Amino acid sequence: MTARSQSNAPRRLHVTPLEPASRSVKLALHEKRLDFDVTDERPWERAPSFLVLNHAGETPVLVDSPRDLAEGNCVVCGAGVILEYLEEAYGGPALLPEAPGERAEVRRLMAWFERLYAPQAGWPLLFERVEKRRRGLGSPDMGVIKDALLALRWHLDYVSFLAERRHWLAGQIFTLADVMAAAHLSCADYVCELPWDHFPEAKAWYARAKSRPAMRTILKERLPGTRPPPHYDDPDF
């Protein structure tokens, strides 16, 4: 079951709606002002037509048709891989700094959200609140949600720690670290009221991120049957 958008952009992004990994790539494409079409996937159904694109059976997948590519399309799998690819294949606003040490700091924080935040906090919240219904797996486990929210406070504290010291998470410029963090935290913010007021520096950073045109576009998206809290897409929350 796929929803195809209508234009004829030179690239198509296969996503799962309200999935942080998919959202991070959408956000980067908007930041870099690259046109794209979207196909909504249901990767847990393991359809052969999707598995042939990505043997790992995961979204996001970008099917790109760069002008200078003589033979066919370029299929790029996985959020981190696509984000690096977009930096290397296209100009436009740079989302990675120049110096190797600064690039490493951006990537450290990307990995933080993918490898620590997601399994400890983001994924259990989204799984209980959204995925279980989407996949017909029963009702949410409130104990899991409670533990995930506790872990989430620790991660918001870390975002505050960073935001006290830097304008954006990895330094003075907006980078893929902010893209990844905003993608992950905004998905959690859709399914529950995050305690932003307890973490004022994190909140100030997130307000800056929400004010960016790319993020405002993303925050307009709605998952059928699930409504976010009122402050969700308000930059002055």
The tokens describing 95, both together, are 């989302």
Residue among 12 and 212 whose Cβ is closer to its own copies? 12
Looking at 10, 80, 171, 229, which residue binds its own copies (CB under 8 A)? 80
d(CA 185, CA 117): 9
Tell me which residues in 130-159 interact with its own copies (CB under 8 A): 158
Decide if residue 108 touches its own copies (CB under 8 A).
yes
Q: How far apart are CA 108 and CA 110, in angstroms?
A: 6
Least distance to its own copies, CB of residue 83, Å: 10
Q: Give SS3 for 192.
A: coil
Q: Is 88 in the site for its own copies (CB under 8 A)?
A: yes
Task: Verify binding: residue 76, its own copies, rule CB under 8 A.
Answer: yes
Q: Which residues pair with 39 in a beta bridge?
A: 4, 14
55 binds its own copies (CB under 8 A): yes
68-102 CB burial, b ≥16 within 10 A, e <16: eeeeeeeebbbbbebbbbbbeeeeeeebbbeeeeb
3-state SS string over 50-61? HHCCCCCCCCCE
Shortest distance, position 110 Cβ to its own copies, whole Å: 8
For its own copies, the closer CB: 116 or 207: 116
> Given candidates 9, 34, 47, 116, which one binds its own copies under the rule CB under 8 A?
116
The Cα–Cα gap between 9 and 4 comes to 12
> Cα–Cα distance between 112 and 120 in angstroms, integer?
11
Query: Cα–Cα distances in Å, from 168 out to 68, 117, 171, 175?
Result: 34, 18, 5, 8
Please tell me whether residue 10 binds its own copies under the rule CB under 8 A. no
Of the candidate spans 84-92, 138-146, 186-194, 219-227, the one that interacts with its own copies by CB under 8 A turns out to be: 84-92
Rounded to a whole number of angstroms, the minimum distance from the CB of residue 3 to its own copies is 25
Contact residue for its own copies among 9, 34, 89, 207 (CB under 8 A): 89
Q: Which two tokens stand for residue 6?
A: 């209508």
Map residues 181-210 to x or -, x wherever contact with its own copies holds by CB under 8 A: ------------------------------
Packing angle, helices 79-89 and 176-191, rounded to 10 = 140
Is residue 69 at the binding interface for its own copies, with CB under 8 A as the rule? yes
> Which residues are at the interface with its own copies (CB under 8 A)?
55-56, 69, 74, 76-78, 80-82, 84-85, 88-89, 100-101, 103-104, 107-108, 111-112, 115-116, 158
